[in-house]
Amino acid sequence: MYYVLCMKKTQLIDHFVTKDGKTFAGTHVILDLWNCVGLDDEELINHALRQSVKAAKATLLHIHLHKFQPNGGISGVAVLAESHMSIHTWPERGYAALDIFMCGSADPLLTVPVLEKHFKPSKVVQEKWYRGMVYD
């Protein structure tokens, strides 16, 4: 947490969101993509993550991807100023599991169409959670 001295008062500066009458740390989207293409393609996954971050209006700090052998599955994370995106792929099943958590003004729901465009799933299962909900 960062504290700023302002006119002899200490104020907490954070990136919590207030939306629809709720205050929370950020939005967490859990995404399952089925019957996908390109799940063993490191370059495609890197590009899809970068385009997703851009669509969400988030700030990319770093991407790290690791390709497993022999099946070519890839696990990776895009570290963001607003939190993170992670991906784990099972090419042999055509399945990708993504975790997209963003705070501030970034919108993780805007990543979904970008990911669908790149991986062409026939089935998408999506859940949305508000993390760090403030209850008065």
SS (H, E, C) 4-49: EEECCEEEEECCCEEECCEEECEEEEEEEEECCCCCCCHHHHHHHH
Annotated catalytic residue, options 36, 52, 103, 118: 103
Active site annotation includes 83 = yes
Instruction: Measure the CA angle with vertex 26, ends 22 and 32; round to 5°.
Output: 115
Annotated catalytic residue, options 36, 52, 83, 118: 83
Annotated catalytic residue, options 66, 88, 105, 118: 88
Active site annotation includes 88 = yes
Which residues have a catalytic role annotated?
83, 88, 103
